[in-house]
Chain A
């Protein structure tokens, strides 16, 4: 009994001693925010030395000493201390951040990138690490290439961030391709990169990036108009159909792809206009047509479509800066009719590398337009004329 009581009392005493030591050590090593800090005087340095001797795995001590060595110009010892800290605590946020900063100061990009990669994987501090990765990527630094080749879990977020912040989309295209191959790519990544390439006038590259993301079965019949039969729901990505975003109340129309009889295939596009003012195209698709003469054809059916001037499909050339000019229009759809075929001619001139196909009320760009009723479309296609 006595032995047990003594054992218990001893354990409590050791526990209290350890707790006291942790409190005092932490008070010396960390500031109020929990970050390592330097001692104010030499006494503390001596304390640090003693602490390190007592516990060589004390990361904060290693980091503080590393910085002191670096300040005094003892790079070799500084490097040793940072490396020791990184080895002792490979997932410690401060160890990773401070050693990464040290490697950056020394111009040792490879080691810095490795630490930043670990830091990003551990704590996901994108706001802190992505700006550095952005600069490494923009500089075509081999350190970046090495990290990117591993396709780390944060790469999707980096592609979207870098894309939105204006990194050359041509640099992002290979990263995206790598993620396509590993089947980790997300629609938001594809859409951002293709949009940026398109906006930069690199339509052919944008189209190539997009087709590289399509599954084999979708490549069998790409067509000049992709998914012109509306058999699959539009993805809104790249050169697929893009549907106007917003509520029916805001847009003045609703759009869906129900199964229907009398048209081609199973499904068709249905746009229901509420009679309200129209602010833009209900649906559109970017195109990358080579110069030449084309026939734009399809099937249409209208149900009580009422408007002053009607509804039509347009093909516009998209020029640098986003301005457009009309290359061809279909007939105007108005009133009511059963399914019927329509066709019109579109001429794509030399120098017009990118176009957009849009469904919109006639005169949308000229003034206020109102539209009520329902329009159906199916089997939309562009065929090159010889």
Chain B
């Protein structure tokens, strides 16, 4: 600390200014006052901070407060075991399994879309693209993340659903072929190469050609067969689980990409350079070194993507068809489903008039399940990220 004595700044060359009469160093009492003020200020900052962060407890408390009356009135059994959802029937039935199933299948579909795409995009962003190209791609991801969910829902309902309904088979076939074509070409080339490796030196070139042609023909037949099969499908309703899964997958993409890119970056240069020094190609380096090292971070990305898909309301409410039953064979994604969030949003309008009834409280019970699930998932992903950071020594 500075000495508590008055020091006057004086300069012999220039006449002392009026304002410089104020001392630059404070005396003991002002210092104490300031420290007190500082403490008070800090206390104020702390209380604002904790108020804003502790709202999460408020949320838990008030959702739980309205959720428990439901379990008191109706018990746990029906809620968690039955698939019959007739909240306005007489007697009302509150079996939510079909709704939980709807949320589950839609989320699985979203993960199936967003994780492969998102992780490969993240690999490309972190290891393949040069810095300048990355600066162009990043805004694309940001814009995808910024588009409001109701706009995605509108697209799903007004543009995508009619397309699926009118040209369902063609859309499915085109999508499947586009996905399969590059994979099959790659597979054929690699497989024919592996076969050729087993032949004698002289025949190798011929063997490669023959194997390539045979396998290529087989792959082509397979693709046309699958394309035909899919092309024959007629979709009765465009508002179904597939539609919602694809859109939710696109919505979850930015989260998956940015979190897994962070994880891949965190794996560090030294790991990569070590692998390159051993003669590995870039693909081998990434697949065998970088991805295993950052697996936990990628897992966290997947969890966050799942949370985004589970918590999304508008898209599923608008475009999932809202039928509270488990589809024919359970994996039939072309049937309409109903999710937790959509049920809460859709039924509250009617249930609001009967505040205090089971019909009102069951929605809070669902919200509580959502909340508890997202809380646990969040803790898990936080834990994973923290542990992996410790492991990588950062």
- Whether A associates with B in a native complex is no
Residues in chain A within 8 A of chain B (CB atoms): none
